[in-house]
Structure 1
Amino acid sequence: MRTLVASLLLWGLVGCTAANTNTPVSTEAAHAGAPLPFIEDDYARALAEAKAKGIPLFVDVWAPWCHTCRSMKAYVLSDKSLARHADRFVWLEVNTDLTQNAAFQEKFPIEFWPTLYVIDPRAEKPLLRFAGSATVSQLEKLFEDGERAYKGGVTGAEALLARGDALHAEGRSTEAIETLTEALAEAPADWSRRGRALESLMTAMYGAMQVEPCAKKALELLPGTPRSLSWANAAMFGLMCAVSMPEDAAGVKELRAGLEAKVVDAMGAPVIEMSGDDRSGLYEARLMAREVAKDEAGKKVLAEEWLTFLEAEAAKAPNPEARTVFDSHRMGAAMKLGTPERAIPALEQSEKDLPQDYNPPARLATLYRTVGRLDDALAASDRALARVQGSRRLSVMSGRVDILVARKDTAAAVKTLEEALAFAKTLPAVQTSPRMVKNLEKKLAGLQAEAQPAPK
């Protein structure tokens, strides 16, 4: 399940201290024996190759903190059956943690991780943008759609879908929504791409924060759409839209209840083919719905079910890299359940298995702080910051501030915040979250106000 830009700070993005080296996290483990020849973090080279070969460019935009990105690498992009597609595209992966990729992000902004692009190298125009996870069979359909858009000649609903994809990829959300809506209205009932078109429509509407129309459209169109991973994702986006609606909006309770029922349905029989990460995302959406409903008892029951599921999925993962896909959600579920200590052994094992990955110690820093192990939390934040790159450093430093405040070391907390804000100014604007910077500024102002002597 895709990671939403609105929830980047939700689970485990903390830790902290040391110089930023901007050295890429190695993807050798993730791509070991991979069937598709991805070029790593070199858009200019990939573009030149695509132009020379006269074929489109396929781009996987990812980040090391993104569990869905890691799931795609561990369970889908590593599938040997994809090898037969190696010559259809030039393949590029772009790690958004790295400042060297800021120029790509300026040209092709993203809202969700992972995002998959098909780009026409002749004009450097995106032909298709797909946010989130896909099964192997869905990925192969994306290959076909991207290739057809590159060659042209499609008509009817297929042409409208291609146009909607291109508009969304260009960031023209309103036009994309209109075009995708038209495609679904014009297409025959048995259109093979109905699910993907609906998923793309929901993605665009949520990204544009058209939350009420999004929720209503999901309830309207889901019944006429075949069950699939796209159907499940569309239901999830519909629920996220409903959860984001104002509490006093007309019919909001009915919309939330109806869409939560669709997500529950997506998790039931007949079974929809989906990864453990996708199913985990559905649990997360349901938990958010229970929270806005102020159903504490239901939330606890669901969090326990979610965490038990995640522990089972992690236990059967084929390797440590695949197992870490579940780390952030295990942490989140354990914290929601009120038992953060339950996730600590898993994160400690991940750090042992993947010593260059900043995520396990960053998440451990939060867990240790939560259970009162402040010395361990500070040490974990040190390890995380020694490994983290780019803008993720800000999240790590923010978490360190929380540890220092818990230790009642206000001077060190203020210094860390000042260093974080100074570092933020060195980052490319496209890779700097205004929300994160505001949060850091707010923390600093609060600590400085506390440090002021009381007026006599």
Structure 2
Amino acid sequence: MRYLAACLLLSGLVACTAANTNTPVSADATHAGAPLPFIDDDYSRALAEAKAKGVPLFVDVWAPWCHTCRSMKANVLSDKSLAAHADRFVWLQVNTDLTQNAAFQEKFPIEFWPTLFIIDPRAEKPLLRFAGSATVDQLVKLFEDGERAYKGGVTGAEALLARGDALSGEGRPAEAAEALTEALAEAPADWSRRGRALESLLMVLYSTFDEAKAKECATKALELLPSTPRSLSWANSAATGLMCSLMVPDGAEGVTALRTALEAKVVEAMGPPAIQMAGDDVSGLYDSRIAARKAAKDEAGVKVLAQEWLAYLEGEAAKAPNAEARAVFDSHRVSAAMKLGQVDRVIPALQQSEKDLPKDYNPPARLASVFKNLGRLDEALAASDRALVLVQGARRLSVLSTRVDILVARKDSATATKTLEEALTYAKTLPAAQVSARQVKSLEKKLTELQATAAPSPK
């Protein structure tokens, strides 16, 4: 399931090792034997190739910390059947941890991970933008939609969907929502794009982070789900509608009924008949249900669901075919274990991921948080050290923020203050398109609080 919160960019301070610079690995080496010939982190090269071949450019925007991105790589983009589509596009993957990709993000701002673009290289305009997960079959339909928009000539609901896609890609949510709403109203009942159009509409409304739009999103989800075929798009739409309802203030008229009805839809999505979806998508549905129980102040319900969620994740991880596929579940396992009050339960899994994926900063970064939560501060600081050697770009700010919390817990306010000052200095060196203003404000607030605590009391 899509990552339904505005993802903050994170960071830390020590220099990267030679193996973790912003220089990408050769695309030929990275994707040898893969079904789709992706170019890594070189928009200029990919754009030139698309222009030369006269085909659209397909872009997978991802990040190493994004579990849904990694699930898509492990379960969908690796599917051998996609090789039949290799000549339809030029293929590009953009890792938003890398500062070299800031120019791409300036041109095509990213709010959710993963985001898939289909871009017209003739005008460098997005033909389609899709945020979140997809099955192989849904991905193939996205290919078809992108090609139709590239070639032009579509009419009716298909044309309105193409217009909504393009407007969403250009960052014009109000106009995109209008076009997508029209498409759903005009389309026949058996329209094959109905689920995708609803999913896109709800994400456009959600992405505004506006209370009125959030209520519209929740209401639209409840209104249109009954006429939408049961599929991953249906499940994602139910969860997006629920998350939108949680953005509406508690006392707003009708919000309790909206939340109850949409939570029931998410429960329905998890029941029979089974919807084809990856384990990460099911996990996302658990996450949204727990958010709803928390909003309802149902702590007992949160515990019951967290227990079920963690058992599910442990079962899925045990079935994973390799370390990369297993690590997809690490972040949600930490979340579930924390909600259950059994955070030590995930330590062996994170330690195994760190052993199996020695260039991945996520396992030691997560271990730092887990050890800090348990009061094992020396181990937390050591894990933070290991993460900082690996992490790069704006993501380093989050690793450093956790490090400050560890230092404060160790009652080392002087080092914590110095670390925050260095972090804020470092943040100023990063491309603006890759730095979250909210994260910087959070660090500034921590610094102010630390300085106030350290200052002598007035006489």
- Aligning the two structures, in what range does the TM-score lie when normalised by the shorter sequence? over 0.9
Aligned in 2, Cα 1:389/1:318: closer, same or farther, shift over 3 Å? Answer: same
Matched with 1:418 is: 421
Find the aligned partners of 1:27 and 1:202 in 2 and give their Cα distance. 38
How far 1:430 sits from its partner (Å)? 0.7
Match of 1:289 among 271, 289, 292: 292
Find the aligned partners of 2:380 and 2:6 in 1 and give their Cα distance. 26
Matched with 2:340 is: 337
Match of 2:313 among 310, 315, 340: 310
> Which residue identity does 2:387 align to in structure 1?
A
Matched with 1:42 is: 42
Aligned in 2, Cα 1:242/1:25: closer, same or farther, shift over 3 Å? Answer: farther
Aligned in 2, Cα 1:304/1:31: closer, same or farther, shift over 3 Å? Answer: farther
Matched with 1:277 is: 280
Report if the CA contact (8 A) 2:4-2:240 is conserved.
no
Find the aligned partners of 1:27 and 1:292 in 2 and give their Cα distance. 47
Q: 5 Å matches for 1:96-135?
A: 96-135=96-135
Q: 5 Å matches for 1:2-401?
A: 2-8=2-8, 17-20=13-16, 22-23=21-22, 31=31, 33-209=33-209, 210-401=213-404
CA deviations on 1:108-151 (whole Å, 9 max, x unpaired) are 01111000000000000000000011000000000011011100
Q: CA RMSD in A?
A: 1.5
Find the aligned partners of 2:431 and 2:71 in 1 and give their Cα distance. 28
> Which residue identity does 1:276 align to in structure 2?
G
Find the aligned partners of 1:97 and 1:247 in 2 and give their Cα distance. 36
How far 1:455 sits from its partner (Å)? 1.9
Q: Secondary structure at the match of 1:208?
A: coil
How far 1:33 sits from its partner (Å)? 2.8
Aligned in 2, Cα 1:252/1:5: closer, same or farther, shift over 3 Å? Answer: closer
How far 1:372 sits from its partner (Å)? 1.2
> Which residue identity does 1:226 align to in structure 2?
P
How far 1:23 sits from its partner (Å)? 3.2
Report if the CA contact (8 A) 1:348-1:360 is conserved.
yes
> Which residue identity does 2:365 align to in structure 1?
A
How far 1:2 sits from its partner (Å)? 1.4
Aligned in 2, Cα 1:24/1:316: closer, same or farther, shift over 3 Å? Answer: farther
CA deviations on 1:318-345 (whole Å, 9 max, x unpaired) are 1001111000000110011111101111
CA deviations on 1:399-451 (whole Å, 9 max, x unpaired) are 00000001000000001100100000001111000110000000000000000
Find the aligned partners of 2:223 and 2:111 in 1 and give their Cα distance. 25
How far 1:34 sits from its partner (Å)? 1.4
CA deviations on 1:152-211 (whole Å, 9 max, x unpaired) are 111100000001000001000000000000000000111111000000000100001310
Report if the CA contact (8 A) 2:116-2:129 is conserved.
yes
Identity %, equivalent residues: 75
Aligned in 2, Cα 1:321/1:417: closer, same or farther, shift over 3 Å? Answer: same
Aligned in 2, Cα 1:244/1:276: closer, same or farther, shift over 3 Å? Answer: same
Q: Secondary structure at the match of 2:329?
A: helix
Find the aligned partners of 2:135 and 2:394 in 1 and give their Cα distance. 30
Q: Secondary structure at the match of 1:113?
A: coil
How far 1:17 sits from its partner (Å)? 4.8
How far 1:8 sits from its partner (Å)? 4.1
Structure-1-length-normalised TM-score: 0.97
Report if the CA contact (8 A) 1:404-1:412 is conserved.
yes
Gaps of 5+ in 1: none
> Which residue identity does 1:176 align to in structure 2?
A
Find the aligned partners of 2:96 and 2:436 in 1 and give their Cα distance. 12
Tell me the matched-pair count.
452
Q: Secondary structure at the match of 1:34?
A: coil
